[in-house]
Amino acid sequence: MTFDHAALFGEDHADPNQYAMHGLASGHVWCAISLGGPTALRRKGDAAVPNEDALCMAECGDRVLLAVADGHFGHAASHDLIERIDLALEARGDQPDPLPRSLDELYALIESCAVAPDTAPPDASGAGHPVDRVSETTLVVAIFDRAARRVWGVSVGDSSAIAVGLDAGVRWLTTATRHYAAPSSPASLSREHFTAFEASLAPGELLAVFTDGVNECEYGSPETSISARHFEALAIRVGRKAETFVEALAELALAGVDGHPGGEDNIAVVAIRVT
Among the ranges given (107-121, 185-199, 204-218, 229-243), the one the predictor scored with the smallest mean pLDDT: 107-121
Count of other CB atoms within 10 angstroms of residue 111: 12
Residue 36: the pLDDT is 98
pLDDT beyond 60 at 158: yes
User: Given a cut of 50, is residue 20 above it in pLDDT?
Assistant: yes
pLDDT band with cut points at 50, 70 and 90 for residue 240: confident
Q: Which residue has the higher pLDDT, 39 or 131?
A: 39
Residue range 27-75, pLDDT digits in tens: 999 999 999 999 998 887 788 899 999 999 999 999 999 999 999 999 9
| Separation between Cα atoms, residue 208 and residue 163, nearest integer Å | 6
The tens digit of pLDDT for each residue in 5-18 reads 999 999 999 999 99
pLDDT at 129 over 60: no
Greater pLDDT, 94 or 31: 31
One-letter identity of residue 10: G
Chain mean pLDDT for the chain: 92
Compute the average pLDDT of residues 190-208.
96
Q: Which of 245, 231, 246, 216 is nearest to 20 (CA)?
A: 246
**More confident: 118 or 251:** 251
**Residue 121's pLDDT band (cuts 50, 70, 90):** low
